[in-house]
Structure 1
């Protein structure tokens, strides 16, 4: 009897341990853990921002302002503007703790229509164009070594970029873990190439290569339109400054670490970008830089020969990593939009075998390829920046509005109101100046996309018209059979 009682007690003890273990696992699954400190937050900002932009934007920034001096000032000013914008988002993120970023802030301040317009524009303009720019950057650096002394043919660049999109889409559709491994491998590469270029530039400066910095404001082309376009290209390289805002719930002491991470991380990126541009100008005249198809590769050929192949190799790694990360995160936005009824329901389906959002990945890849076919990098950057700064400005303006309309909200971080006013006014200038001084078709296309989103919202969400189901049902059925996908709740664990 004693032995039986002992066994029962042991069994009960084991069951209690199992139940406690299950409860601990469930609590960790349900609740986000505050594991990101100040150092991790700062590194996350640096790692997110530095991607393909610094390897393609220097040429475009210089082309718009025409001289070394204004070019370096633009890079510094872009860093200041990004820091101020990120601080405004930090106040919003600690005031409104809902997930969704800009969508949630616009919803709180202005209601569903501006919030939906942001979602629509992100899905059809901002995310695909950003993805296309990165893949075209990869294609330029990957093809340049095979065409020494001349520019690679446009058709080669576009075919290579399309192939990259197909491969990245396939990788992420096959396995989430595989996509994560690819991301981890390529993330380190961009920091290696940044360090190589900066250290090489410092050595050249110490050796006295300063001729391109003399009379650095000669031949400058300064106008509202040219400065705005230069800012577009510079700010493209800084894009990602708002990403830390999406993990506020996982930050240790977010009221302290969120603004401090921004104040440390973005200025650090600014210093890196300015030093990289200085490194370029230590070895290339402005004319030579403008004539270079791949600036970092030209720098490597002149400074690191006979191991100059390191530069294009690591730039390719960096751009592939950025493209993979963009594909991974943007496809989840498509997935959520399908789940919320803002797109076809099939976009929220996942693979039965692989547990990946295959329809969302294929949709994103298809739209991105459509952008690549007629576009070039500079046009796409202007197109992307025009759209994104409309919503950055509107979101920061929401912060100003809620200072008066939502006074009851707690504000752990409260900036001087002059900062969001400066960011809002700058956003308005960035959006309007290029249209007024140098109007181009891409701006009209972007506006038409937004108008299309408004029409879609009125018809299918506000008035809830159902005639579109006659078209969507057969499409959904055929995609389910072809891709073997189902609604998430139908997938057994």
Structure 2
């Protein structure tokens, strides 16, 4: 089986529309329905809420435009892992793959799974995180964590049975999630617009303050406190806008990848940015800032739909959001296994991950990913998982985009069908913004981001002790 499957060529069956929908589908998961509550608690005003989302969209677009050059140079399965290997060396590539498995992809899968449970609990309350199933000292297992694990196992099983099933689910659920968001935005702005709420929200549009939903009090902030609030707020918005690069992991199945990957990255991130900003404008037209900050279990979309559709409508929206998160995790689970497969081919991951099962998918990698993502579901709540992921993601985005500068020096005459937009200014500006954010996160959220850094650094001795440095 190993020889038979490893020699197979991946079929290039995905066009520009398919690739763009993969970008959109991977990005839109749980965040847009949840994280605006935490952002509002941090920065307070409607103006700062929208600024956070616009700033996140601009930063994401800068990264996507820069990635276009790398994807055009190396249109192969593995994406970011390949770019780091070619730009730096095997150690850096391994550390990315190690972090991808330990934190980035699995942590995202866990967070999206927990978000799925948040909305399942809206329909059936015993499925929530308040329902403790087992406890030993401070360690507790709640129903929401168990629901998340069950969905991860189910999606892994589906994808282990062949790529066709995963593709069908991804396409169908991506269409549903886009339609549900557009439905929320249009009906909210047209039929549930509350002028008194809108006017109150935008009266002090650029006055930042921290909300405390428990005491219903607000404290004006500025200077270093404002910077800390913005950094903390952007954890959620950056997480909601992440996974745009997952399309590079399946480059081996995209038609005309030198053109279509870069273009799909730009179009997909632009579409999602417009949707996210529009959704938050709708939130401020329907809910007061206090209602956004104090939304039960941070389910802002459900709180908004209460005004838009009434009680029955909120149940429909909750189901739609569950579909969205389910579809997002399907794409993450599917694409993640391709990275482990490529790493194993380079001798930088477990050998079994480089083999395909009888359905011609990397089954071992899928199940290894499933087990660790399930374990991460038990390590903390949604917000903690976001901190773990975003800090490590930013580190490797900085390194990857820095690779553009390195590759231009190493291979000045290499074929570059697409060159990074605004080079060197845009890539450098992204690296500066990401460095400031990651530094702020490590300083202000050391208890969570610090563990993410520790996991990355553990990869260094693992690389050398396992003899990866001596493997060809």
TM over 0.5: yes
The answer to whether the aligner puts 1:101 opposite 2:79 as a matched pair is yes
1:325 alignment counterpart = 331
- Equivalenced residue count is 433
1:411 alignment counterpart = 416
Give TM-score scaled by structure 2 length. Answer: 0.83
Aligned CA distance change for structure 1 residues 151 and 288 (closer, same or farther; 3 Å): farther
Q: Secondary structure at the match of 1:407?
A: coil
Among 212, 216, 241, the residue aligned to 2:205: 216
Contact 2:441–2:449 (CA under 8 A) maintained in structure 1: no
Offset, 1:83? 0.9
**1:255-302 Cα distance to aligned partner (Å, 9 max, x none):** 665555444432222121111111122222222212212111111222
Q: For residues 73-472 of structure 1, what are the structure 2 equivalents within 5 Å?
A: 73-147=51-125, 152-153=130-131, 155-204=142-191, 208=195, 210-211=198-199, 212-220=201-209, 221-222=221-222, 223-246=226-249, 260-292=263-295, 293=297, 294-305=299-310, 306-352=312-358, 355-414=360-419, 415=421, 416-436=423-443, 438-462=444-468
Contact 1:190–1:317 (CA under 8 A) maintained in structure 2: yes
Contact 1:226–1:434 (CA under 8 A) maintained in structure 2: no
Contact 2:71–2:258 (CA under 8 A) maintained in structure 1: no
**1:280-336 Cα distance to aligned partner (Å, 9 max, x none):** 222222222122121111112221014332100111111111112212222333344
Aligned-pair Cα RMSD in Å: 2.8
Offset, 1:249? 7.0
Give TM-score scaled by structure 1 length. Answer: 0.80
Q: Secondary structure at the match of 2:94?
A: helix
Offset, 1:462? 4.5
Q: Secondary structure at the match of 1:304?
A: helix
Contact 1:339–1:348 (CA under 8 A) maintained in structure 2: yes
Aligned CA distance change for structure 1 residues 345 and 254 (closer, same or farther; 3 Å): closer
Structure 1 or 2, whichever has the larger Rg, is: 1
Offset, 1:392? 0.3
Contact 2:193–2:285 (CA under 8 A) maintained in structure 1: no
Contact 1:45–1:241 (CA under 8 A) maintained in structure 2: yes
CA–CA separation in structure 2 for the residues paired with 1:260 and 1:355: 29
Q: Which moved more, 1:157-166 or 1:177-186?
A: 177-186
Aligned CA distance change for structure 1 residues 463 and 422 (closer, same or farther; 3 Å): closer
Among 5, 30, 53, the residue aligned to 1:52: 30
CA–CA separation in structure 2 for the residues paired with 1:356 and 1:30: 13
Q: Secondary structure at the match of 2:467?
A: helix
